[in-house]
């Protein structure tokens, strides 16, 4: 048992200033078997010039953590916000997520899990600065107050944080510290512009792909055309003869092998790759085929799988008269993430050490993987987290294949920094998609048109089961991957006699989590079926949902009611040829409701307006919450695009680039999106993912009112 007293060790930086290091254990209430102690490192550095550099223990991939987390700390610290700078923390134990115990970005968890942590860091820093001032002035701390990076004492005394920093570093770290009441927040809860905006607008902010290290070479890989293929023969004469090509050699992949081309520049490496002739051994490989997959999944979906939820009586459904029963089958395709910045990693291997620069959602896992490939201990790998051009779940594959590939190349070219770059084609064809899912649902209604029985089978690959990943015990149960069933298994609709089971076939297509994960398909199924039931019952779609939802489900009830209020006027005055669609969703802690105004133009849905209401508890940065709702909606439209799917033909991915799988462009997105945040002082919860799943069902629910058709197969190829 560990002593649950947390303590802080402070060291003064060589250049002066206060650096806060912190041993941290779990906040009370966290259900962890043991509370790990984080080794010392820095979160706050007050520089002599007054700037305050705050370490952000997350990747910044667009979701705004590099502003929101510093806001939390700076508020409790009473820092001058204009002086605050954010840095993305390197891979260190200290930067682990305090609840999950690993350093990661995902699950929309950053604010939720680090809110308390960053508040305490800020408050303790402030306490030490005040203590330093009080000591200097020989007054009591109670006579001092702090505001905007200045401590004020009795009799007009004042001292800047920058001037107090060195003395503050020598103060004892307080065990306990008082946190502000919500009424005292100066930053938290205030719409605050991003810290990284200007640099991004000037082309100055460096992403992983922009990295430039002295002596660096660029590598691209020639990958097998079928997942798991291996190099059997190679003619690299033409490639090697190109000026600027440094080396060509085979490396292992997580599945199969590839040929690495290393050159002075990306363009040279890419051109050289096109001059390679590789003979691939594809024998014995499963060649997944989308058409065959459909049939196989549909057959499976008509059989009971591993039980996920069994509530009430299985047999009730069978006894409901046919006239009050319905059957629905849904299909969802492989979805690519296609973040704007393709995958990349830069690694230099020096024999006894290595250094890595990676835009990643899983720094410590990557660090461990690199060490594994290079035969080092993780501590021997200096790991820098780079800004990422989008993540969406793509930048934390469980097998850490991106850094493993890069490390394998770096290992061959000791001393040379290697930047491994994925082309967009590599990204589109390289796997790790949101899996194909098929749902088979049988519903029976009572005489009031409410569900009285519900049998639901979900079929889809799991990237968790059998992976050995740290999260596996938390998200799998009795052979069910809860990340594949979330949205159905955790529904807050009170459905008696509710039976959900799942099959998780294993296929030769790598898959992984995609922003909002299981909700991407489960919420679509639930929200379109509920809409259908409401239509059958001739009920208003919002009223029907409120009636069916658990009365205690405030997380989702409050945004639904706020949505009702904020969209009432336009919903009642639609233009001719327009229709409304409604959908809502909640995970454990965040609820979102959405209404869309849709018409049909050129045979496609045209979304004139979306109104979103969201319950995130306390919204730390309302401007970020709004942005995530707006952006999440657009991301969620990806699976409605006519060519929004990845398809596989005889083991070959058919799409190559954005021409084959275009994401939503401006004209595909809602013209206007207004976002309303449910006022709340509850603990902050996440907003990166929750808006994503509501848009597709809302749009097809609107389309039903225009075409009379229910759309259960995605992508939406035609109306």
Partner 1 sequence: MASYVLTINSRQRDVIADPGTPLLWVLREHLKMRGTKYGCGIAACGACTVHVGGVATRSCVLPVSLVGARPIVTIEGMAADRVGRVVQEAWVSGDVVQCGYCQGGQIMTAVTLLKNVSKPTDSQIEQSMGGNICRCGTYVRIRAAIKQAAQQLG
Partner 2 sequence: MTGRQNVAVLAAWIGMTVVVVRLVEAQSTRADGLAAWEQMYSVLTHPRCVNCHTATAYPQQGDDRHVHYFNVVRGRGGLGVPAFSCTTCHQQANADSTGVPGAAGWHLAPLSMQWQDLNDRILPSSAVCTAITDRSKNHNLDGPGLLRHHEGEPLVLWAFKPGRRADGTPRSVPPLTHDEFVRATRVWVKAGTPCPKS
The interface partner of residue 266, options being partner 2, partner 1, none and the CB cut-off 5 to 8 Å by kind, is partner 1
Please identify, using beta-carbon distances, which residue of 274 and 565 lies nearer to partner 2. 274
Do 392 and 427 form a contact (C-beta atoms < 8 A)? no
Nearest CB to partner 1, comparing residues 192 and 491: 192
Give the interface with partner 1 as residue ranges (CB under 8 A). 60-64, 193-194, 196-198, 200-207, 209-210, 212, 243, 264-268, 271, 338-342, 387-392, 423-425, 623, 627, 630-635, 657-659, 662-667, 669-673
92 binds, among partner 1, partner 2, none (CB under 5 to 8 A by kind): none
Instruction: Output the CA torsion sign for 587, 592, 598, 601.
Output: negative
Closer residue to partner 1, CB minimum distance, 285 or 675: 675
CA distance 220 to 78: 48
Pairing mode of beta strands 150-153, 157-160: antiparallel
Q: Which does 388 bind (CB under 5 to 8 A by kind): partner 1, partner 2, none?
A: partner 1
Phi, psi at residue 366, to the nearest 5°?
Answer: -65, -40
Q: Which DSSP helix (H) or strand (E) runs through 672?
A: strand 672-677
C-alpha distances out from residue 136 to 9, 152, 159, 588, Å: 21, 12, 10, 49
CB of 185 to partner 2, least distance (A): 42
Residues binding partner 2 (CB under 8 A): 274, 658-659, 662, 665, 667
Binder of residue 80, out of partner 2, partner 1, none (CB less than 5 to 8 A by kind): none
Q: Which is nearer to partner 1, 198 or 506 (CB)?
A: 198
Nearer to partner 1, 341 or 405 (CB): 341
Helix (H) or strand (E) holding 121, with range, is helix 110-137
Q: Which of the listed partners (partner 1, partner 2, none) does 343 bind, with a CB threshold of 5 to 8 Å by partner kind?
A: none
Tell the smallest beta-carbon distance from residue 623 to partner 1 (Å).
5
Residue closer to partner 1 (CB basis): 224 or 389:
389
Query: Which residue pairs from 286-292 have beta carbons closer than 8 angstroms and sit at least 24 positions apart in sequence?
Result: 286/228, 286/507, 286/508, 286/651, 287/226, 287/508, 287/650, 287/651, 288/227, 288/507, 288/508, 288/509, 288/648, 288/651, 289/648, 289/649, 289/650, 289/651, 290/333, 290/334, 290/436, 290/647, 290/648, 290/649
Q: Cβ 666 to partner 2, closest distance in Å?
A: 8
Q: Which does 197 bind (CB under 5 to 8 A by kind): partner 1, partner 2, none?
A: partner 1
Q: Name the binder of 64 from partner 2, partner 1, none, CB < 5-8 A by kind.
A: partner 1
Compute the least distance from the CB of residue 274 to partner 2, in Å: 7
Q: How far apart are CA 454 and CA 308, in angstroms?
A: 13
**507 versus 642: smaller Cβ distance to partner 2:** 642
- Cβ–Cβ < 8 Å for 618, 681: yes
CB atoms within 10 A of CB 476: 21
Smaller CB separation from partner 2, 470 or 665:
665
- Which is closer to partner 2, CB of 474 or CB of 665? 665
303 binds, options partner 2, partner 1, none, Cβ within 5 to 8 A by partner type:
none
Q: What span, in angstroms and rounded, lies between the C-alpha atoms of 16 and 18?
A: 7
DSSP state of 589: S
Residue 274 binds which entry of partner 1, partner 2, none, CB below 5-8 Å type-dependent: partner 2
Q: Which residues make Cβ contacts (< 8 Å) with residue 290, sequence separation at least 6? A: 333, 334, 436, 647, 648, 649
Number of H helices, E strands in the chain: 18, 30
In angstroms, give the least distance from the CB of 701 to partner 1. 20
Residue 664 CB, nearest distance to partner 1 (Å)?
A: 7
CB of 58: closest distance to partner 1 in angstroms? 13
């Amino acid at each position: 048992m560990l002593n649950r007293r947390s303590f802080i060790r402070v060291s003064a930086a060589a250049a002066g200033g206060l650096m806060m290091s912190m041993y941290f254990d779990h906040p009370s209430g966290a259900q962890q078997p043991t509370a790990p102690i984080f080794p010392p490192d820095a979160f706050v550095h007050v520089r002599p010039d007054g700037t305050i550099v705050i370490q952000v223990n997350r990747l910044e991939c667009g979701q705004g953590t590099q502003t929101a987390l510093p806001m939390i700390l700076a508020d409790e610290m009473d820092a001058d916000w204009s002086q605050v700078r954010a840095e993305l923390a390197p891979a260190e134990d200290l930067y682990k997520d305090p609840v999950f115990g690993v350093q990661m970005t995902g699950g929309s968890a950053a604010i939720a899990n680090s809110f308390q942590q960053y508040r305490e860091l800020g408050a303790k820093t402030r306490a030490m600065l005040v203590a330093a001032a009080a000591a200097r002035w020989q007054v009591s701390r109670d006579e001092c107050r702090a505001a905007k990076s200045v401590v004020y004492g009795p009799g007009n005394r004042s001292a800047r944080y920058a001037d107090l920093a060195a003395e503050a570093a020598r103060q004892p770290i307080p065990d306990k510290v008082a946190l502000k009441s919500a009424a005292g927040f100066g930053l938290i809860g205030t719409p605050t512009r991003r810290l990284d905006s200007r640099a991004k607008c000037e082309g100055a902010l460096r992403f992983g792909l922009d990295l430039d290290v002295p002596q660096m070479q660029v590598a691209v890989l020639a990958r097998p055309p079928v997942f798991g293929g291996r190099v059997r023969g190679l003619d690299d004469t033409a490639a090697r003869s190109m000026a600027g090509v440094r080396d060509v050699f085979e490396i292992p992949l997580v599945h199969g092998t590839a040929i690495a081309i290393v050159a002075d520049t990306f363009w040279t490496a890419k051109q050289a790759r096109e001059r390679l002739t590789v003979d691939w051994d594809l024998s014995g490989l499963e060649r997944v085929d989308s058409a065959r997959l459909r049939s196989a999944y549909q057959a499976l979906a008509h059989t009971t799988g591993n039980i996920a939820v069994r509530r009430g009586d299985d047999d009730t459904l069978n006894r409901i008269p046919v006239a009050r029963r319905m059957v629905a089958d849904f299909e969802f395709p492989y979805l690519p993430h296609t973040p704007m910045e393709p995958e990349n990693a830069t690694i230099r291997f020096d024999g006894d050490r290595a250094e890595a620069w990676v835009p990643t959602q899983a720094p410590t896992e990557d660090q461990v993987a690199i060490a594994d490939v290079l035969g080092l201990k993780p501590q021997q790998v200096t790991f820098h987290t780079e800004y990422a051009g989008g993540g969406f779940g793509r930048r934390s594959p469980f097998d850490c294949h991106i850094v493993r590939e890069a490390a394998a190349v770096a290992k061959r070219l000791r001393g040379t920094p290697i930047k491994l770059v994925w082309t967009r084609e590599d990204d589109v064809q390289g796997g790790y998609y949101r899996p194909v899912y098929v749902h088979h649902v049988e519903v029976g209604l009572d005489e009031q048109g409410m569900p009285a029985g519900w049998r639901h089978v979900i079929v889809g690959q799991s990237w968790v089961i059998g992976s050995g990943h740290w999260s596996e015990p938390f998200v799998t149960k009795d052979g069910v991957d809860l990340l594949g069933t979330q949205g159905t298994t955790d529904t807050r609709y009170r459905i008696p006699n509710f039976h959900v089971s799942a099959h998780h076939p294993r296929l030769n297509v790598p898959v992984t989590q995609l922003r909002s994960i299981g909700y991407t398909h489960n919420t679509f199924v639930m929200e379109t079926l509920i809409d259908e039931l409401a239509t059958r019952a001739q009920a208003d779609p919002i009223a029907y949902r409120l009636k069916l939802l658990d009365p205690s489900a405030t997380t989702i009830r409050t945004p639904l009611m706020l949505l009702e209020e904020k969209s009432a006027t336009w919903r009642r005055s639609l233009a001719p040829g327009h229709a409304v669609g409604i959908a809502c969703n909640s995970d454990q802690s965040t609820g979102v409701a959405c209404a869309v105004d849709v018409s049909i133009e050129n045979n496609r849905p045209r979304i004139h307006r979306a109104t979103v209401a969201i319950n995130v508890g306390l919204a730390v940065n309302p401007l970020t919450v709004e942005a995530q709702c707006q952006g999440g909606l657009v991301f969620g439209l990806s699976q409605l695009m006519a060519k929004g799917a990845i398809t596989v033909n005889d083991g070959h991915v058919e799409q190559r680039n954005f021409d084959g799988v275009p994401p939503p462009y401006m004209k595909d997105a809602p013209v206007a999106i207004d976002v309303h945040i449910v006022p709340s002082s509850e603990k902050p919860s996440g907003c990166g993912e929750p808006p994503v799943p509501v848009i597709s069902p809302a749009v097809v629910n609107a389309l039903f009112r225009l075409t009379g058709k229910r759309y259960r197969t995605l992508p939406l190829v035609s109306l």
